[in-house]
A and B are shown apart, each in its own frame.
Chain A
Amino acid sequence: MSIKKLNKDVFKSFVDSMIASDQSVVGVKEKVQAKGNKFAFGPLENADQLRLDYDVTLIPPKKYMLPQTETLLTYEVKGESKQHVDEQKLILVGVHPYDMIAINQMDELFSQDEYDTHYMTRRNNITVIACDVVNASENIFASSMETAVVEKGFDILLTDLGKGKEYVAEAITEKGEALLATAVDATDADDKDIAKRSAIQEANKKDLDKHTLNCKPSELSSLLEQAYEHPVWEEKAKTCFSCGSCNTTCPTCYCFDVQDLVNWNLKDGQRERSWDGCLLKDFANVAGDHNFRKQKESRFRHRLYRKGKYVPTKIGGQVACVGCGRCVGACVPDIANPVAVYNRLLEDIKP
Protein backbone atom coordinates (compact mmCIF):
# COMPACT_ATOMS: atom_id res chain seq x y z
CA MET A 1 0.00 0.00 0.00
CA SER A 2 1.15 3.53 -0.57
CA ILE A 3 2.67 6.25 1.56
CA LYS A 4 2.09 9.67 0.06
CA LYS A 5 3.09 13.20 0.81
CA LEU A 6 0.49 15.97 0.55
CA ASN A 7 1.36 19.61 0.84
CA LYS A 8 -1.11 22.03 2.36
CA ASP A 9 -3.00 22.78 -0.85
CA VAL A 10 -3.13 19.18 -1.98
CA PHE A 11 -4.37 18.16 1.45
CA LYS A 12 -7.05 20.85 1.40
CA SER A 13 -8.39 19.83 -1.96
CA PHE A 14 -8.24 16.16 -0.88
CA VAL A 15 -10.52 17.00 2.08
CA ASP A 16 -12.77 19.25 0.00
CA SER A 17 -13.23 16.53 -2.63
CA MET A 18 -14.21 14.06 0.11
CA ILE A 19 -16.78 16.55 1.34
CA ALA A 20 -18.07 17.00 -2.21
CA SER A 21 -18.45 13.23 -2.66
CA ASP A 22 -21.62 11.35 -1.73
CA GLN A 23 -20.21 10.20 1.61
CA SER A 24 -20.75 12.12 4.84
CA VAL A 25 -17.53 13.48 6.28
CA VAL A 26 -17.05 14.25 9.96
CA GLY A 27 -13.92 15.66 11.53
CA VAL A 28 -12.51 17.61 14.43
CA LYS A 29 -13.74 21.20 14.64
CA GLU A 30 -13.61 24.00 17.16
CA LYS A 31 -16.44 24.01 19.64
CA VAL A 32 -18.11 27.36 19.01
CA GLN A 33 -19.34 27.66 22.60
CA ALA A 34 -15.78 27.62 23.91
CA LYS A 35 -14.10 30.50 22.10
CA GLY A 36 -11.82 28.30 20.05
CA ASN A 37 -9.95 26.24 22.61
CA LYS A 38 -12.18 23.15 22.82
CA PHE A 39 -12.82 20.63 20.10
CA ALA A 40 -15.51 18.20 19.02
CA PHE A 41 -16.13 15.82 16.14
CA GLY A 42 -18.84 17.15 13.84
CA PRO A 43 -19.90 17.31 10.17
CA LEU A 44 -17.37 19.11 7.98
CA GLU A 45 -18.63 21.69 5.51
CA ASN A 46 -15.21 22.64 4.18
CA ALA A 47 -11.57 21.75 4.69
CA ASP A 48 -10.84 24.95 6.60
CA GLN A 49 -12.99 23.78 9.50
CA LEU A 50 -10.82 20.75 10.08
CA ARG A 51 -8.45 21.24 13.03
CA LEU A 52 -5.90 18.45 12.97
CA ASP A 53 -3.81 20.42 15.48
CA TYR A 54 -6.45 19.82 18.17
CA ASP A 55 -5.39 18.51 21.57
CA VAL A 56 -8.37 16.31 22.55
CA THR A 57 -12.10 16.30 21.77
CA LEU A 58 -14.72 16.80 24.48
CA ILE A 59 -16.11 13.33 23.92
CA PRO A 60 -14.52 10.54 21.91
CA PRO A 61 -15.45 9.56 18.33
CA LYS A 62 -17.19 6.41 19.61
CA LYS A 63 -20.43 8.38 19.23
CA TYR A 64 -20.32 7.46 15.52
CA MET A 65 -20.38 3.74 16.26
CA LEU A 66 -22.32 3.85 19.51
CA PRO A 67 -24.45 7.01 19.46
CA GLN A 68 -25.54 8.66 22.71
CA THR A 69 -29.06 7.44 21.92
CA GLU A 70 -30.18 5.19 19.07
CA THR A 71 -33.32 3.31 18.04
CA LEU A 72 -32.70 -0.43 17.97
CA LEU A 73 -36.11 -1.46 16.71
CA THR A 74 -39.71 -0.46 16.36
CA TYR A 75 -42.30 -2.80 17.83
CA GLU A 76 -45.97 -3.51 18.14
CA VAL A 77 -47.11 -4.29 21.65
CA LYS A 78 -47.46 -8.10 21.73
CA GLY A 79 -46.67 -8.21 18.03
CA GLU A 80 -44.01 -7.92 15.38
CA SER A 81 -40.82 -5.90 15.69
CA LYS A 82 -38.58 -4.44 13.04
CA GLN A 83 -34.81 -4.00 13.51
CA HIS A 84 -33.27 -0.62 12.74
CA VAL A 85 -29.76 -0.81 11.36
CA ASP A 86 -27.97 2.36 10.34
CA GLU A 87 -26.07 1.75 7.11
CA GLN A 88 -24.88 5.26 6.42
CA LYS A 89 -21.40 5.53 5.01
CA LEU A 90 -19.11 7.91 6.85
CA ILE A 91 -15.55 9.18 6.64
CA LEU A 92 -14.18 10.03 10.06
CA VAL A 93 -11.22 12.41 9.93
CA GLY A 94 -8.72 13.12 12.68
CA VAL A 95 -8.89 10.22 15.13
CA HIS A 96 -5.91 10.31 17.50
CA PRO A 97 -3.99 7.07 18.15
CA TYR A 98 -5.34 6.56 21.68
CA ASP A 99 -8.93 6.92 20.41
CA MET A 100 -8.18 4.57 17.53
CA ILE A 101 -6.91 1.97 19.97
CA ALA A 102 -10.09 2.43 22.01
CA ILE A 103 -12.18 1.84 18.87
CA ASN A 104 -10.13 -1.27 18.09
CA GLN A 105 -10.89 -2.58 21.58
CA MET A 106 -14.60 -1.90 21.19
CA ASP A 107 -14.58 -3.63 17.80
CA GLU A 108 -13.30 -6.75 19.55
CA LEU A 109 -15.82 -6.49 22.37
CA PHE A 110 -18.85 -5.86 20.15
CA SER A 111 -18.00 -8.69 17.77
CA GLN A 112 -17.28 -11.38 20.36
CA ASP A 113 -19.91 -13.38 22.32
CA GLU A 114 -23.04 -11.65 21.10
CA TYR A 115 -22.27 -9.94 17.78
CA ASP A 116 -23.76 -6.44 17.98
CA THR A 117 -25.22 -5.75 14.55
CA HIS A 118 -26.03 -2.12 15.33
CA TYR A 119 -22.49 -1.26 16.37
CA MET A 120 -20.71 -3.41 13.81
CA THR A 121 -22.76 -2.21 10.83
CA ARG A 122 -21.95 1.38 11.68
CA ARG A 123 -18.31 0.52 12.24
CA ASN A 124 -17.95 -1.33 8.95
CA ASN A 125 -19.40 1.61 7.07
CA ILE A 126 -16.85 4.04 8.50
CA THR A 127 -13.60 4.89 6.81
CA VAL A 128 -11.20 6.15 9.47
CA ILE A 129 -8.49 8.69 8.79
CA ALA A 130 -6.38 8.72 11.94
CA CYS A 131 -3.76 11.33 12.73
CA ASP A 132 -0.76 11.54 15.01
CA VAL A 133 -0.96 13.99 17.91
CA VAL A 134 0.49 17.44 17.28
CA ASN A 135 -0.50 19.18 20.51
CA ALA A 136 -0.64 17.30 23.79
CA SER A 137 -3.76 17.91 25.85
CA GLU A 138 -3.63 19.01 29.47
CA ASN A 139 -4.11 15.54 30.93
CA ILE A 140 -2.93 13.10 28.31
CA PHE A 141 -0.94 10.09 29.49
CA ALA A 142 -0.87 8.00 26.33
CA SER A 143 2.89 7.49 26.69
CA SER A 144 2.38 5.69 29.98
CA MET A 145 -0.39 3.56 28.51
CA GLU A 146 1.61 2.73 25.34
CA THR A 147 -1.12 4.24 23.18
CA ALA A 148 0.71 7.25 21.75
CA VAL A 149 1.00 5.66 18.32
CA VAL A 150 -1.26 3.22 16.52
CA GLU A 151 -0.61 0.60 13.89
CA LYS A 152 -4.01 -0.74 12.91
CA GLY A 153 -7.72 -0.10 12.77
CA PHE A 154 -7.56 2.99 10.58
CA ASP A 155 -7.69 3.14 6.79
CA ILE A 156 -5.32 6.08 6.43
CA LEU A 157 -2.89 7.54 8.96
CA LEU A 158 -1.90 11.19 8.64
CA THR A 159 1.15 12.73 10.20
CA ASP A 160 1.64 16.48 10.14
CA LEU A 161 5.32 17.08 9.41
CA GLY A 162 5.16 20.66 10.61
CA LYS A 163 2.46 23.26 11.20
CA GLY A 164 0.08 21.75 8.68
CA LYS A 165 2.37 22.57 5.74
CA GLU A 166 2.96 18.94 4.80
CA TYR A 167 1.33 15.66 5.68
CA VAL A 168 2.49 12.09 5.27
CA ALA A 169 -0.50 9.85 4.55
CA GLU A 170 -0.27 6.09 4.71
CA ALA A 171 -3.09 3.86 3.52
CA ILE A 172 -3.21 0.40 5.08
CA THR A 173 -6.51 -0.95 3.71
CA GLU A 174 -8.14 -1.21 0.29
CA LYS A 175 -10.69 1.40 1.34
CA GLY A 176 -7.92 3.73 2.44
CA GLU A 177 -5.91 3.12 -0.71
CA ALA A 178 -8.89 3.97 -2.91
CA LEU A 179 -9.62 7.13 -0.95
CA LEU A 180 -6.00 8.27 -0.96
CA ALA A 181 -5.89 7.76 -4.72
CA THR A 182 -8.36 10.64 -5.05
CA ALA A 183 -5.57 12.98 -3.91
CA VAL A 184 -4.24 13.07 -7.45
CA ASP A 185 -1.54 15.67 -6.85
CA ALA A 186 0.02 13.80 -3.93
CA THR A 187 3.60 12.60 -4.41
CA ASP A 188 5.20 9.46 -3.04
CA ALA A 189 6.73 10.04 0.36
CA ASP A 190 10.51 9.59 0.35
CA ASP A 191 12.82 8.14 3.01
CA LYS A 192 13.38 11.54 4.53
CA ASP A 193 9.64 12.11 5.03
CA ILE A 194 9.26 8.71 6.58
CA ALA A 195 12.20 9.36 8.90
CA LYS A 196 10.58 12.63 9.96
CA ARG A 197 7.36 10.78 10.68
CA SER A 198 9.19 8.21 12.79
CA ALA A 199 10.86 10.97 14.78
CA ILE A 200 7.46 12.55 15.53
CA GLN A 201 6.02 9.22 16.61
CA GLU A 202 9.04 8.36 18.76
CA ALA A 203 8.76 11.75 20.48
CA ASN A 204 5.05 11.19 21.14
CA LYS A 205 5.85 7.86 22.75
CA LYS A 206 7.72 9.82 25.41
CA ASP A 207 6.09 13.26 25.51
CA LEU A 208 2.34 12.56 25.75
CA ASP A 209 2.82 12.11 29.44
CA LYS A 210 1.14 14.66 31.68
CA HIS A 211 0.67 11.96 34.30
CA THR A 212 3.19 9.14 34.71
CA LEU A 213 2.07 5.69 35.68
CA ASN A 214 4.67 4.14 37.99
CA CYS A 215 4.35 0.66 36.51
CA LYS A 216 3.83 -0.97 33.16
CA PRO A 217 0.19 -1.15 32.03
CA SER A 218 0.58 -4.92 31.83
CA GLU A 219 1.25 -5.00 35.58
CA LEU A 220 -2.07 -3.38 36.51
CA SER A 221 -3.93 -6.65 36.56
CA SER A 222 -1.70 -8.19 39.21
CA LEU A 223 -1.65 -4.90 41.13
CA LEU A 224 -5.45 -4.89 41.27
CA GLU A 225 -5.45 -8.53 42.25
CA GLN A 226 -4.26 -7.37 45.67
CA ALA A 227 -6.06 -4.05 45.98
CA TYR A 228 -9.73 -4.83 46.54
CA GLU A 229 -9.80 -3.76 50.19
CA HIS A 230 -7.38 -0.86 49.89
CA PRO A 231 -8.44 2.43 51.58
CA VAL A 232 -7.95 4.43 48.36
CA TRP A 233 -11.44 3.54 47.11
CA GLU A 234 -13.11 5.14 50.06
CA GLU A 235 -10.66 8.04 50.24
CA LYS A 236 -11.38 9.02 46.65
CA ALA A 237 -15.06 8.16 46.45
CA LYS A 238 -15.89 10.36 49.44
CA THR A 239 -16.24 13.33 47.12
CA CYS A 240 -17.72 11.42 44.16
CA PHE A 241 -20.95 12.92 42.79
CA SER A 242 -21.87 9.70 40.95
CA CYS A 243 -22.24 11.98 37.93
CA GLY A 244 -20.80 9.48 35.46
CA SER A 245 -18.72 12.10 33.63
CA CYS A 246 -15.75 9.73 33.87
CA ASN A 247 -17.87 7.24 31.88
CA THR A 248 -19.57 9.52 29.40
CA THR A 249 -16.27 11.07 28.27
CA CYS A 250 -14.36 7.78 28.13
CA PRO A 251 -13.54 6.20 24.76
CA THR A 252 -13.57 2.69 26.22
CA CYS A 253 -16.77 2.83 28.28
CA TYR A 254 -19.48 1.08 26.33
CA CYS A 255 -22.27 0.26 28.78
CA PHE A 256 -25.76 1.14 27.68
CA ASP A 257 -29.30 1.11 28.96
CA VAL A 258 -32.27 -0.11 26.89
CA GLN A 259 -35.77 1.31 27.17
CA ASP A 260 -39.05 0.74 25.36
CA LEU A 261 -40.89 3.97 24.54
CA VAL A 262 -44.50 3.47 23.65
CA ASN A 263 -46.37 5.82 21.32
CA TRP A 264 -49.63 7.60 22.21
CA ASN A 265 -51.74 4.89 20.59
CA LEU A 266 -50.23 2.55 23.24
CA LYS A 267 -50.01 -0.04 20.46
CA ASP A 268 -46.52 0.47 19.08
CA GLY A 269 -43.26 2.09 20.03
CA GLN A 270 -39.49 2.20 19.77
CA ARG A 271 -36.78 0.40 21.66
CA GLU A 272 -33.92 2.79 22.35
CA ARG A 273 -30.55 2.35 23.86
CA SER A 274 -28.47 5.12 25.34
CA TRP A 275 -25.16 5.50 27.14
CA ASP A 276 -25.12 4.40 30.72
CA GLY A 277 -22.27 4.57 33.22
CA CYS A 278 -21.08 2.29 35.98
CA LEU A 279 -20.63 5.27 38.32
CA LEU A 280 -24.33 6.14 38.22
CA LYS A 281 -26.32 5.16 41.26
CA ASP A 282 -28.92 3.05 39.47
CA PHE A 283 -26.44 1.33 37.16
CA ALA A 284 -26.34 -1.97 38.95
CA ASN A 285 -30.06 -2.06 39.72
CA VAL A 286 -31.44 -5.46 38.89
CA ALA A 287 -34.92 -6.90 39.05
CA GLY A 288 -36.55 -6.46 42.43
CA ASP A 289 -34.71 -3.20 42.99
CA HIS A 290 -31.60 -4.84 44.41
CA ASN A 291 -28.52 -2.81 43.72
CA PHE A 292 -25.40 -4.88 44.01
CA ARG A 293 -23.07 -1.87 43.90
CA LYS A 294 -24.94 0.50 46.15
CA GLN A 295 -21.94 2.17 47.72
CA LYS A 296 -20.28 4.84 45.67
CA GLU A 297 -16.84 3.49 46.63
CA SER A 298 -17.68 0.12 45.10
CA ARG A 299 -18.84 1.82 41.89
CA PHE A 300 -15.71 3.95 41.87
CA ARG A 301 -13.57 0.83 42.34
CA HIS A 302 -15.47 -1.08 39.67
CA ARG A 303 -14.52 1.41 36.96
CA LEU A 304 -10.80 1.16 37.71
CA TYR A 305 -11.01 -2.61 37.92
CA ARG A 306 -12.78 -2.70 34.59
CA LYS A 307 -10.07 -0.64 32.92
CA GLY A 308 -7.16 -2.46 34.54
CA LYS A 309 -8.36 -6.01 35.06
CA TYR A 310 -11.82 -7.12 33.89
CA VAL A 311 -11.89 -5.89 30.27
CA PRO A 312 -8.23 -6.88 29.62
CA THR A 313 -9.16 -10.53 30.20
CA LYS A 314 -11.61 -10.28 27.29
CA ILE A 315 -9.24 -8.61 24.82
CA GLY A 316 -5.95 -10.38 25.18
CA GLY A 317 -4.57 -8.37 28.05
CA GLN A 318 -4.93 -4.88 26.56
CA VAL A 319 -5.60 -2.31 29.28
CA ALA A 320 -8.93 -0.56 28.73
CA CYS A 321 -7.66 2.86 29.66
CA VAL A 322 -5.96 4.48 26.69
CA GLY A 323 -4.69 7.51 28.57
CA CYS A 324 -6.76 10.14 26.78
CA GLY A 325 -7.08 12.06 30.07
CA ARG A 326 -10.69 13.08 29.40
CA CYS A 327 -12.00 11.71 32.69
CA VAL A 328 -9.31 13.64 34.56
CA GLY A 329 -10.57 16.96 33.22
CA ALA A 330 -14.25 16.05 33.36
CA CYS A 331 -14.37 15.09 37.03
CA VAL A 332 -15.43 18.17 38.99
CA PRO A 333 -13.98 16.95 42.34
CA ASP A 334 -10.83 15.72 40.54
CA ILE A 335 -10.77 12.15 41.79
CA ALA A 336 -11.17 10.22 38.53
CA ASN A 337 -7.54 10.22 37.34
CA PRO A 338 -6.66 6.51 36.89
CA VAL A 339 -2.93 7.21 37.21
CA ALA A 340 -3.38 8.90 40.59
CA VAL A 341 -5.32 5.90 41.87
CA TYR A 342 -2.98 3.24 40.46
CA ASN A 343 0.09 5.12 41.70
CA ARG A 344 -1.47 5.40 45.13
CA LEU A 345 -1.91 1.62 45.16
CA LEU A 346 1.68 1.16 44.01
CA GLU A 347 2.87 2.99 47.13
CA ASP A 348 1.55 0.09 49.21
CA ILE A 349 1.47 -2.90 46.88
CA LYS A 350 4.06 -4.55 44.64
CA PRO A 351 2.41 -5.82 41.45
Chain B
Amino acid sequence: MSKPRVAIFDFACCEGCQLQIVNLEEEILDLIGAVDVVEWREAMSEQSEEYDIAIIEGSITRPEDEERIKDIRSKAKVLIAIGACATTGGLNKLKNNFDDLEEVKKCVYSDASTMPHLETAMTKAVDEVVTVDYKVHGCPIEKAEFGSIIRSLLLGKAPEIPDYPVCVECKKNENVCRWEYGEICLGPIIRAGCGAKCPTASYRCFGCRGYVDDPNVNAAVDVMDKYGLTVDQLKSKMVLFGSKQGPTL
Protein backbone atom coordinates (compact mmCIF):
# COMPACT_ATOMS: atom_id res chain seq x y z
CA MET B 1 0.00 0.00 0.00
CA SER B 2 1.46 3.39 -0.94
CA LYS B 3 1.52 6.01 1.77
CA PRO B 4 -1.40 8.45 1.79
CA ARG B 5 -0.51 11.86 0.43
CA VAL B 6 -1.21 14.66 2.88
CA ALA B 7 -1.47 18.39 2.16
CA ILE B 8 -1.78 21.04 4.85
CA PHE B 9 -3.49 24.35 4.03
CA ASP B 10 -4.10 27.46 6.07
CA PHE B 11 -6.86 30.06 5.96
CA ALA B 12 -7.58 32.90 8.41
CA CYS B 13 -5.67 31.94 11.54
CA CYS B 14 -2.54 32.53 13.57
CA GLU B 15 -0.83 29.34 12.33
CA GLY B 16 -0.52 28.21 15.92
CA CYS B 17 -2.03 24.85 15.11
CA GLN B 18 0.52 24.14 12.36
CA LEU B 19 3.14 25.10 14.88
CA GLN B 20 1.75 22.38 17.16
CA ILE B 21 2.41 19.89 14.34
CA VAL B 22 5.97 21.19 14.00
CA ASN B 23 6.22 20.84 17.79
CA LEU B 24 5.59 17.11 17.55
CA GLU B 25 9.40 16.97 17.59
CA GLU B 26 10.59 13.34 17.38
CA GLU B 27 7.11 12.25 16.47
CA ILE B 28 7.17 14.40 13.37
CA LEU B 29 9.58 11.87 11.86
CA ASP B 30 7.06 9.13 12.66
CA LEU B 31 4.37 11.20 11.00
CA ILE B 32 6.48 11.79 7.92
CA GLY B 33 7.31 8.08 7.90
CA ALA B 34 3.65 7.12 7.92
CA VAL B 35 2.37 9.62 5.36
CA ASP B 36 3.72 11.48 2.37
CA VAL B 37 3.47 15.24 3.01
CA VAL B 38 3.09 16.82 -0.43
CA GLU B 39 2.23 20.40 0.46
CA TRP B 40 2.80 22.35 3.64
CA ARG B 41 3.54 26.05 3.27
CA GLU B 42 4.85 26.49 6.78
CA ALA B 43 7.46 23.74 6.48
CA MET B 44 8.33 23.23 2.79
CA SER B 45 8.29 24.94 -0.58
CA GLU B 46 6.70 22.22 -2.74
CA GLN B 47 3.09 22.48 -3.81
CA SER B 48 0.88 19.76 -5.09
CA GLU B 49 -2.42 19.27 -6.81
CA GLU B 50 -2.65 15.63 -5.80
CA TYR B 51 -3.39 14.53 -2.27
CA ASP B 52 -5.56 12.09 -0.35
CA ILE B 53 -5.90 13.84 2.97
CA ALA B 54 -6.31 17.62 3.24
CA ILE B 55 -5.65 19.17 6.63
CA ILE B 56 -7.25 22.60 6.98
CA GLU B 57 -6.29 25.23 9.49
CA GLY B 58 -8.13 28.54 9.79
CA SER B 59 -11.55 30.03 9.14
CA ILE B 60 -13.23 31.00 5.93
CA THR B 61 -13.54 34.79 5.96
CA ARG B 62 -13.48 35.98 2.34
CA PRO B 63 -15.38 35.04 -0.80
CA GLU B 64 -12.19 33.80 -2.51
CA ASP B 65 -11.53 31.51 0.48
CA GLU B 66 -14.79 29.76 -0.27
CA GLU B 67 -13.66 28.98 -3.82
CA ARG B 68 -10.29 27.77 -2.61
CA ILE B 69 -11.69 25.44 0.06
CA LYS B 70 -14.23 24.01 -2.41
CA ASP B 71 -11.40 23.27 -4.81
CA ILE B 72 -9.40 21.53 -2.07
CA ARG B 73 -12.45 19.52 -1.06
CA SER B 74 -12.99 18.33 -4.61
CA LYS B 75 -9.46 16.90 -4.72
CA ALA B 76 -9.25 15.38 -1.22
CA LYS B 77 -10.62 12.01 -0.23
CA VAL B 78 -10.57 12.98 3.45
CA LEU B 79 -10.72 16.51 4.82
CA ILE B 80 -9.72 17.25 8.40
CA ALA B 81 -10.32 20.62 10.05
CA ILE B 82 -7.76 21.45 12.74
CA GLY B 83 -8.05 24.07 15.45
CA ALA B 84 -10.93 26.21 16.66
CA CYS B 85 -10.57 28.61 13.71
CA ALA B 86 -11.43 25.77 11.35
CA THR B 87 -13.71 23.60 13.49
CA THR B 88 -15.99 26.26 14.97
CA GLY B 89 -14.78 29.54 13.51
CA GLY B 90 -13.04 30.20 16.80
CA LEU B 91 -11.88 33.68 17.71
CA ASN B 92 -12.48 34.85 14.14
CA LYS B 93 -16.20 34.62 14.75
CA LEU B 94 -16.07 37.49 17.20
CA LYS B 95 -16.62 39.80 14.26
CA ASN B 96 -19.91 38.06 13.47
CA ASN B 97 -21.30 39.79 16.54
CA PHE B 98 -21.32 43.04 14.56
CA ASP B 99 -23.96 43.73 11.93
CA ASP B 100 -21.93 46.15 9.83
CA LEU B 101 -18.61 44.73 8.67
CA GLU B 102 -17.63 48.00 6.95
CA GLU B 103 -17.61 49.61 10.39
CA VAL B 104 -15.51 46.74 11.74
CA LYS B 105 -12.99 47.14 8.92
CA LYS B 106 -12.69 50.87 9.48
CA CYS B 107 -12.16 50.34 13.17
CA VAL B 108 -9.43 47.74 12.59
CA TYR B 109 -7.59 49.10 9.53
CA SER B 110 -8.69 52.80 9.51
CA ASP B 111 -7.57 54.45 6.22
CA ALA B 112 -6.32 51.21 4.69
CA SER B 113 -9.71 49.57 5.05
CA THR B 114 -10.61 50.08 1.39
CA MET B 115 -7.62 48.05 0.11
CA PRO B 116 -8.93 45.13 -1.97
CA HIS B 117 -7.04 42.40 -0.09
CA LEU B 118 -8.82 43.43 3.10
CA GLU B 119 -12.16 42.42 1.65
CA THR B 120 -14.03 40.59 4.41
CA ALA B 121 -17.19 38.61 5.01
CA MET B 122 -18.82 36.95 7.98
CA THR B 123 -16.56 34.22 9.37
CA LYS B 124 -17.46 30.63 8.62
CA ALA B 125 -16.15 27.43 10.11
CA VAL B 126 -14.90 25.09 7.38
CA ASP B 127 -17.97 22.86 7.65
CA GLU B 128 -20.22 25.80 6.87
CA VAL B 129 -18.77 25.72 3.35
CA VAL B 130 -17.73 22.14 2.60
CA THR B 131 -18.15 18.71 4.21
CA VAL B 132 -15.60 18.07 6.95
CA ASP B 133 -14.79 14.45 7.75
CA TYR B 134 -12.96 14.92 11.03
CA LYS B 135 -12.34 17.76 13.46
CA VAL B 136 -9.36 18.23 15.71
CA HIS B 137 -10.53 20.75 18.28
CA GLY B 138 -8.75 23.32 20.42
CA CYS B 139 -6.95 26.63 20.24
CA PRO B 140 -4.38 25.40 19.64
CA ILE B 141 -4.87 21.68 18.91
CA GLU B 142 -3.40 19.07 21.23
CA LYS B 143 -0.38 17.41 19.68
CA ALA B 144 -1.18 14.00 21.15
CA GLU B 145 -4.78 14.11 19.99
CA PHE B 146 -3.74 15.16 16.50
CA GLY B 147 -1.33 12.23 16.33
CA SER B 148 -3.85 9.68 17.53
CA ILE B 149 -6.51 10.92 15.11
CA ILE B 150 -4.09 10.58 12.19
CA ARG B 151 -3.09 7.08 13.32
CA SER B 152 -6.75 6.03 13.58
CA LEU B 153 -7.32 7.24 10.03
CA LEU B 154 -4.30 5.34 8.79
CA LEU B 155 -5.74 2.20 10.37
CA GLY B 156 -9.08 2.91 8.77
CA LYS B 157 -10.77 3.36 12.16
CA ALA B 158 -13.03 6.27 13.13
CA PRO B 159 -11.06 8.38 15.62
CA GLU B 160 -12.33 8.60 19.21
CA ILE B 161 -13.16 12.22 19.88
CA PRO B 162 -14.46 12.87 23.39
CA ASP B 163 -18.07 13.86 23.66
CA TYR B 164 -18.01 14.52 27.36
CA PRO B 165 -17.29 17.79 29.13
CA VAL B 166 -13.93 19.14 30.33
CA CYS B 167 -15.06 18.48 33.94
CA VAL B 168 -14.26 14.77 33.49
CA GLU B 169 -10.57 15.45 32.88
CA CYS B 170 -10.58 18.25 35.42
CA LYS B 171 -11.78 15.98 38.22
CA LYS B 172 -9.28 13.29 37.27
CA ASN B 173 -6.60 15.95 37.74
CA GLU B 174 -7.99 16.68 41.21
CA ASN B 175 -8.49 20.36 40.62
CA VAL B 176 -10.54 22.60 42.83
CA CYS B 177 -13.55 23.66 40.77
CA ARG B 178 -13.30 27.26 39.52
CA TRP B 179 -16.98 27.75 40.37
CA GLU B 180 -15.96 27.47 44.01
CA TYR B 181 -13.98 30.65 43.44
CA GLY B 182 -17.01 32.35 41.88
CA GLU B 183 -15.59 32.06 38.36
CA ILE B 184 -17.75 31.17 35.38
CA CYS B 185 -16.00 28.09 34.09
CA LEU B 186 -17.43 26.75 30.83
CA GLY B 187 -16.06 23.26 31.51
CA PRO B 188 -19.48 21.60 31.98
CA ILE B 189 -20.59 22.42 28.42
CA ILE B 190 -17.24 22.24 26.57
CA ARG B 191 -15.84 19.15 24.86
CA ALA B 192 -12.97 17.49 26.70
CA GLY B 193 -9.71 16.33 25.14
CA CYS B 194 -7.31 19.02 26.31
CA GLY B 195 -6.74 17.35 29.68
CA ALA B 196 -8.53 20.29 31.34
CA LYS B 197 -5.50 22.48 30.70
CA CYS B 198 -6.91 25.73 32.01
CA PRO B 199 -8.51 24.65 35.31
CA THR B 200 -5.36 22.62 35.99
CA ALA B 201 -3.44 25.88 35.67
CA SER B 202 -5.93 27.61 38.03
CA TYR B 203 -7.83 29.33 35.27
CA ARG B 204 -11.44 28.86 34.16
CA CYS B 205 -12.18 27.04 30.88
CA PHE B 206 -13.11 29.60 28.26
CA GLY B 207 -14.37 27.08 25.79
CA CYS B 208 -11.77 26.82 23.02
CA ARG B 209 -12.75 23.25 22.07
CA GLY B 210 -16.36 24.12 21.39
CA TYR B 211 -19.51 22.76 22.93
CA VAL B 212 -20.25 19.10 23.57
CA ASP B 213 -22.91 17.69 21.26
CA ASP B 214 -25.85 18.49 23.43
CA PRO B 215 -24.73 21.25 25.80
CA ASN B 216 -27.20 21.96 28.58
CA VAL B 217 -26.98 25.72 28.17
CA ASN B 218 -30.31 26.12 29.97
CA ALA B 219 -28.79 24.49 33.00
CA ALA B 220 -25.94 26.95 32.83
CA VAL B 221 -28.47 29.76 32.84
CA ASP B 222 -30.31 28.18 35.78
CA VAL B 223 -27.21 27.80 37.90
CA MET B 224 -26.24 31.47 37.60
CA ASP B 225 -28.72 32.30 40.36
CA LYS B 226 -27.21 29.79 42.71
CA TYR B 227 -23.83 31.47 42.37
CA GLY B 228 -25.21 35.00 42.58
CA LEU B 229 -24.24 35.72 38.98
CA THR B 230 -26.26 36.97 36.04
CA VAL B 231 -27.04 35.50 32.65
CA ASP B 232 -25.28 38.47 31.05
CA GLN B 233 -22.12 37.55 32.90
CA LEU B 234 -22.43 34.02 31.54
CA LYS B 235 -22.96 35.30 28.01
CA SER B 236 -19.94 37.56 28.28
CA LYS B 237 -17.82 34.49 29.04
CA MET B 238 -19.22 32.52 26.13
CA VAL B 239 -18.59 35.18 23.49
CA LEU B 240 -14.85 34.59 23.03
CA PHE B 241 -15.10 31.13 21.51
CA GLY B 242 -18.84 30.59 21.46
CA SER B 243 -19.94 33.36 19.11
CA LYS B 244 -22.44 31.99 16.58
CA GLN B 245 -21.03 28.53 16.97
CA GLY B 246 -22.42 25.63 14.98
CA PRO B 247 -22.23 21.91 15.80
CA THR B 248 -18.78 20.62 16.71
CA LEU B 249 -18.91 17.00 15.64
Contact = CB atoms under 8 A, between A and B. Distances in A.
B176 A31 contact: yes
Interface stretch (A93-101, A140-148, A212-220, A235-243): A235-243
Interface string B13-39: 000000000000001001101100000
Interface residues of A, number: 37
Nearest to B200: A33
B8 interface: no
A228 B82 CA distance: 44
Interface in A233-254: 238-245, 248-249
A330 to B, nearest CB: 7
B174 interface: yes
B160 interface: yes
A34 B30 CA distance: 40
A248 B171 contact: yes
B154 A266 contact: yes
Given A277-B168, A333-B222, A33 B202 contact: yes
Nearest to A283: B164
A328 to B, nearest CB: 12
Size band of the B side of the interface?
35 or more
Contact of A239 (B147, B160, B165, B218): B218
B148 A245 contact: no
A18 B164 CA distance: 41
Interface in A24-48: 31, 33-34, 38, 40
A58 interface: yes
Contact of A31 (B30, B31, B174): B174
Nearest to A248: B171
B219 A266 contact: no
A33, A38, A243 pick with most chain B CB within 10 angstroms? A243
Contact of B168 (A33, A248, A259, A334): A248
Interface in A59-116: 59, 68-69
A332 B167 CA distance: 10
A281 to B, nearest CB: 6
Contacts, number: 105
Interface stretch (B88-96, B97-105, B135-143, B208-216): B208-216
A241 B34 contact: no
Interface of B: 27, 30-31, 33-34, 147-148, 151-152, 154-155, 160, 163-165, 167-168, 171-172, 174-177, 179, 187-189, 202, 212-214, 216, 218-220, 222-223, 226
Nearest to A260: B157
B175 A33 contact: yes
Nearest to B216: A241
A261 to B, nearest CB: 6
5 contacts: A58-B176, A242-B165, A248-B171, A264-B147, A332-B177
Given A69-B172, A242-B214, 7 more contacts: A68-B172, A239-B219, A241-B216, A245-B171, A264-B27, A264-B30, A332-B188
B152 to A, nearest CB: 8
Contacts of B220: 241
A333 B167 contact: no
A310 interface: no
A262 interface: yes
A330 B167 CA distance: 10
A282 B222 contact: no
A248 B216 contact: no
A239 B167 contact: no
Contacts of B155: 262, 266
**Among all A-B residue pairs, the 6 with the closest Cβ atoms:** A264-B30, A241-B188, A248-B171, A243-B167, A239-B219, A68-B172
Given A40-B174, A245-B171, A281 B223 contact: no
